[in-house]
Structure 1
Amino acid sequence: MKFIDQAIIQVISGNGGHGCISFRREKYIPKGGPDGGDGGDGGNVWIKSDKNLNTLIDLRFKKIFKAFNGENGSGKNCSGKKGKDITINVPIGTKIINYQTQEIIADLTEKEQKILIAKGGWHGLGNTRFKSAINRTPRKRTMGIPGEKRYLQLELCLIADVGTLGMPNSGKSSLVKNISNAKTKTADYPFTTLQPILGSVVRNNKKFIIADIPGIIYRASSGSGLGIQFLKHLERCKILLHIVDLFPINYSNPIENIETVLQELKKHSKNLYEKPRWLIFNKIDLIKSLDQKKIIKEIKKKFELKEKYYFISATKKIGINQLCLDIISYLKK
């Protein structure tokens, strides 16, 4: 199924049913009193999070969601039937935004979370309601109130404990694939990951969710490449793993690659840039121990290396178990 993380929809709640003007007319009771019933309330529109969904693709094809109108009242004091509610199911992690004002209405971060997004119109009153000692034959009723109309912007931000970022082909997908149950594609060419993928990692009966997004390239914040449009899926992560290729296939400089990713991250979002971030140096099996020390020395010279760092081989599964255990310990704190 294609991954869609944005949709714009219109929701319309049901109109309230009108009140009725009616008088009791039966044999031997030629001049009975008023018996006009009330209308029914209009149906509501709800939005509910569904753990079985992971994309907003269904909302790309259906744009308008309308609840049912309340029925009008009738004689013999019969009230109109309430309009039927409708519920729109969305993935967990969906933000509901007022399209006109860009105000965040709700953020559905838990399963089975339900919010009333458009309330049905109030019912009208029948003429029975207006009977009094002064006016025994009221010819007055009220009309039902129209339902609400709202334009909504829905944005899906995946919920993960850990997120990966880095240049294309740095080994993010290989790492996620080898430590989790994620079925992510891996190959020796850039942009094998075309959409965010979630994986579940279990170690010592403890679990965390990891997100794999497409690689980030130079000028990504200006629209180049794929990764920048998916960076929002890292906003909920508690920690970021910055994967650095020590032996890039294009012979680029790992130090410059780190700088490129950090610059693009900072341009995109200050909050994301300031998240806890660990440097993960990949493809340790392809370089010598002496070269590892040289790289760390250069990095410390170039950056203020406050982050934790690890040397791993995602494909050979070197160092990844300890990395997972340390992540679990960090998340526990």
Structure 2
Amino acid sequence: MEKNFIDYIRVFCRSGHGGAGIKHFMRNKLTAKGGPDGGDGGRGAHIILRGNSQLWTLLHLRYYKNVLAENGAPGGKNNMTGRDGKDIIIEVPLGTIARDEETGEVQAEILEDGQEIVFMRGGRGGLGNSHFATPTNQVPEHAQPGEPGVEGWKLLELKVLADVGLVGFPNAGKSTLLSSITAAKPKIADYAFTTLVPQLGMVEYREGKSFCIADLPGIIEGAAEGRGLGHRFLRHIERNAVLLFLIPADSNDHKKEFEILVNELEEYNPEMLQKDFIVAISKSDMLDDELKAAITKELPKNVPHVFISAVTGQGLTELKDILWQKLNA
């Protein structure tokens, strides 16, 4: 599974050069010295990105290191326009952004199924000499070359599209929660970094409604500097509308754990703090009312919290209600 989840690809792209217009004069058995009839060159092929909701990784592009589009054909006699280059369509999962490696500029963002963006334009075909005839120059001796295509190294990044992102230290119980409230079947084990790739699941809510939740690789202190799974993890929560912080009931310091998680997000991108936060205390089946009251005092007053147990089902309906309200506020 881990080997099949590819969320970052570097690829060299070159769009097609435009075909050259030609210099030609009409000649046939009835016309010894006719006028200019050189045709235009064809357009160079575009490179197009297309969204495909059936894809969830960039794995299919892993060995696609050079994307070289076809050149346009040169023009012909009798004002014949050259054939356009055949466009290359690269299918990508929803949530893919494409940026230029040199400048870092985001050049395309795919968010919808079937959405197409001309990522790199092919060069225009050159004009044939028939375009340059004038009353004072009836035998133009020149035609335009085609415009060159564009080329460069591009980066394709996938940012998972989900409504809710599960945030917590390794071993907080995120995978267990996901498997208990959705149909997803993440790998679960009692050691850090079990989840190395985002796991998506659909939560069935009341009256046939549903929303998407993502279990993201565990964050650790220093993720913003790239430690642990670092930026690879943080990239995927940029698009989540609501962040659900999962803190286990047996944590030594619930308040400190929450603050560390928030600090990592802020270090990476301060805009993360604009999202809605919810705190869930997992493994709460081991708590009595007195301990719950003590933990509640530790938690920030302005962030809603809920005590849950994925094992007994405690608090899961309440959690779904809070998430749905936040998503539709």
Pairwise CA distance, 1:179: 0.9
Q: Partner letter of residue 308 of structure 1?
A: P
Please tell me the residue identity of whatever aligns with 2:201: G
1:312 aligns with 2:308: yes
**Secondary structure at 1:61 match in 2:** coil
What SS is found at the alignment partner of 1:305? coil
Residue equivalent to 1:236: 239
**AA of the residue aligned to 1:234:** I
Matches within 5 A, 1:1-333: 2-204=4-206, 205-226=208-229, 228-247=231-250, 252-297=252-297, 299-300=298-299, 304-333=300-329
**Alpha-carbon distance between aligned partners in 2 of 1:270 and 1:26, rounded to the nearest angstrom:** 73
Partner SS for 2:291: helix
Amino acid at match of 1:131: A
Deviations 1:263-320 (A, max 9, x none): 33332232223422111011111222222112223x05xxx42101101101222211
Distance 2:83 2:50 in 1: 24
Task: Summarize the Cα distance change of 1:36–1:320 in structure 2 as closer, same or farther, 3 Å threshold.
Answer: same
Gaps of 5+ in 2: none
Q: Tell me the CA shift for residue 83 of structure 1.
A: 1.2
* Structure 1 residue 253 displacement after superposition: 4.1
Q: CA deviation at 1:322?
A: 2.0
- Deviation track 1:110-159 (CA, whole Å, cap 9, x = no partner) reads 22221112211111122222233333333221111111223322221111
Give the Cα–Cα distance (whole angstroms) in 2 for the partners of residues 125 and 217 of structure 1: 60
User: How far did 1:59 drift?
Assistant: 2.9
Name the SS for the 1:244 alignment partner: strand
Query: Comparing 263-272 with 305-314, which one deviates more in the overlay?
Result: 263-272
Please tell me the residue identity of whatever aligns with 2:54: N
Offset at residue 71 of structure 1 (A): 0.6
The 8 Å contact of residues 216 and 225 in structure 1, kept in 2 or not, is answered as yes
Letter in 2 for 1:312: I
Answer with 265-274 or 288-297: which moved more: 265-274
Asked whether the equivalents of residues 171 and 191 of structure 2 are also in contact (C-alpha less than 8 Å), the reply is yes
Distance, in Å, in 2 between the alignment partners of 1:28 and 1:266 is 80
Once the two structures are superposed, residues 175-203 of structure 1 have per-residue CA deviations (whole angstroms, 9 ceiling, x without a partner) of 11111122211122222111111111111
SS of aligned partner of 2:40: coil
Q: Supply the RMSD in Å over aligned alpha carbons.
A: 1.9
* 142-151 or 252-261, larger mean C-alpha shift: 252-261
1:216, 1:228 within 8 Å by CA — same for their partners in 2? no
Identical-residue share of aligned pairs (%): 39
Contact 2:224/2:230 (<8 A) preserved: no
Q: Distance in 1 between matches of 2:200 and 2:104?
A: 28
2: CA distance, partners of 1:21 / 1:44: 26
| Equivalent-residue separation in structure 1 for 2:58 and 2:183 (angstroms) | 23
Q: Distance in 1 between matches of 2:15 and 2:262?
A: 46
State how many pairs are aligned. Answer: 326
Q: Alpha-carbon deviation of 1:47?
A: 1.2
Moved more, 165-174 or 118-127: 118-127
TM-aligned CA distance change 1:288 to 1:12, over 3 Å: same
Shift of 1:255: 4.2
CA gap of 1:316–1:23, structure 2 versus 1, over 3 A, is same
The alignment's TM-score, normalised by the length of structure 1, stands at: 0.91
Three-state SS of the structure 2 residue aligned to 1:31 is coil
